[in-house]
Amino acid sequence: MLNKLESLLAQTDFELSRDQKQKLIDYVGMLNKWNKAYNLTSVRDPEQMLVRHIMDSIVVNPLLSGTRFIDVGTGPGLPGVPLAIVRPDSHFTLLDSLGKRVRFLRQVQHELDLPNIEPVQSRVEEFIPEPPFDGVISRAFASLEDMLSWCHHLPKPVEGRFYALKGTLSEDEVAKLPDGFMLESIFPLTIPELSEQRHLVILKSN
């Protein structure tokens, strides 16, 4: 697994410590183990998890601004856990409404010794941020329109950003942004050994 991860990282500009690499591998190991009972992800092969979950998550790291983030609809901790491992000076609140996922994340926090993640069980519209976040991150969570309407209260008013990790992106979805929000930028993402389209959409209040 370490060789596989290093071969993937070699196709990017990422430089990670041995400890960071080991934590990413250990996280995949936990995901694979718990998946059998908890059905956390449809990806069953650990090497594919490195591509589809680890690389797919950390590729956005250079595009994030700030140090306090919330990962909404985090599921088993994606992209929040991999990002927390590669970005140890930032803090990630991992929000999910399902208890089994939050229990898994608490175990991840304990076993991987990740003080910079905070698993929280809550519906996003009921969660009160104190203080507001630098960035609101979602991966395969909802349409842009739904993300903004459900998460509008989470980021800082002016400098806060919404980061949506998307696959294919339709012009129609971008055109349907609710009033009060604007598109800042769209970045096509390249994931090693993944031929499918990926984009990071960055939005803000106006």
Contacts of 175-178 with CB under 8 Å at 24 or more apart are 176/143, 176/144, 176/145, 177/144, 177/145, 177/148, 177/203, 178/145, 178/148, 178/149
| Residue 126 marked as a ligand binder | no
Can the peptide bond before residue 79 be classed as cis, meaning omega within 30 degrees of 0?
Answer: yes
Structure-block tokens of residue 138: 């979602």
Q: Is there a binding annotation on residue 184?
A: no
Which of 184, 180, 185, 183 shows the shortest CA–CA distance to 205?
Answer: 180
* Residue 98, marked binder: no
Please name the residues in contact with 15: beta carbons below 8 A apart, sequence gap of 6 or more.
none
3-state secondary structure of 124: helix
78 is in an annotated binding site: yes
CA dihedral 120, 82, 140, 117 (to 10 degrees): 10
124 assigned to a ligand binding site? yes
Q: How many CB atoms lie within 10 A of CB 22?
A: 16
Which residues contribute to the annotated binding site?
Answer: 73, 78, 124-125, 139
Bind-site residues for S-adenosyl-L-methionine: 73, 78, 124-125, 139
